[in-house]
Amino acid sequence: MATRSRIRPGDVISHARMCDAEGIMLQHGMNYRPGGRTSILLMSVRRGAPYEDQTLDEGRVLIYEGHDIARTRGGPDPKSVDQPMHLPRGRLTRNGRFFEAAQAVKRGKVAVELVKVYEKIRAGIWVYNGVFGLVDAWQERSHHGRSVFKFKLEVHEGAAPTDSASPRDLPHNRMIPTAVKLEVWKRDGGRCVKCGSTKNLHFDHDVPFSKGGTSLTAANIQLLCAKHNIQKRDKIQ
Ligand SMILES: [Zn+2]
């Protein structure tokens, strides 16, 4: 069996690779402690994305929208009804589980609730945004007049959970805002700027974040393949 190589924040991956890395088939956007492991949220702020996720504070904060009821034959339009806390038989929905987890953090019952976040930037193209801490959750009226959940997550500055991050990964643990990712992807044509490879790409900080390089302008971000990314990292260390 091949070992799963670890995915680092900024890595560009396929859905299959993401599932392989997590060891589960990710079919839902909201995955609360799947198999007892770290929670996973899949986000998208692309035009036409089903939920209104937002990134704030220069990529440090993520506001993630809860999810609708499942569409059923003969049932209501999921976008027309309140996002539920409970299933019909009373168990918590995915919204409910994340909501309760956020309340536990707010009440100080647990120190932190870690969540890994992946973002879909194009059809079949995902980016690992790193580890966030779930810090708040609430329900609000959407502009359609129904009730939706909102979850607030902040970049987690500590070590990554379970899969033992080495300290040198930490400077990358800052999300590159979506607009910057899309601009870089388009400018670099979805290819490594050194060799043109389309495989194992990574959103690389030209000047590293740890050396004061910003995540906020495309001018400091480039696409590199794994080989060229590692070469560059080794040079910097
Ligand atoms: Zn390359």
- Angle, CA 46 vertex, CA 44 and CA 51 arms, to 5°: 55
Centroid of ligand 1 to alpha carbon of 42 (angstroms): 27
Centroid of ligand 1 to alpha carbon of 84 (angstroms): 46
pLDDT in tens, 83-131: 999 998 999 999 999 999 999 999 999 888 999 999 999 989 999 999 9
Centroid of ligand 1 to alpha carbon of 197 (angstroms): 5
CB-based contacts of 57, cutoff 8 Å, min separation 6: none
pLDDT for the residue numbered 46: 78
Centroid of ligand 1 to alpha carbon of 200 (angstroms): 9
pLDDT in tens, 105-114: 999 998 889 9
The residue with tokens 């599932």 is 19
* Average pLDDT over all residues of the chain: 88
β-bridge partners, 147: 141
Largest Cα–Cα separation, the chain: 60
Centroid of ligand 1 to alpha carbon of 231 (angstroms): 10
Q: Work out the number of other CB atoms within 10 angstroms of the CB of residue 100.
A: 15
Centroid of ligand 1 to alpha carbon of 206 (angstroms): 14
Highest mean pLDDT among 2-11, 13-22, 95-104: 95-104
Amino acid (one-letter) located at 196: G
pLDDT for the residue numbered 2: 47
Amino acid (one-letter) located at 193: V
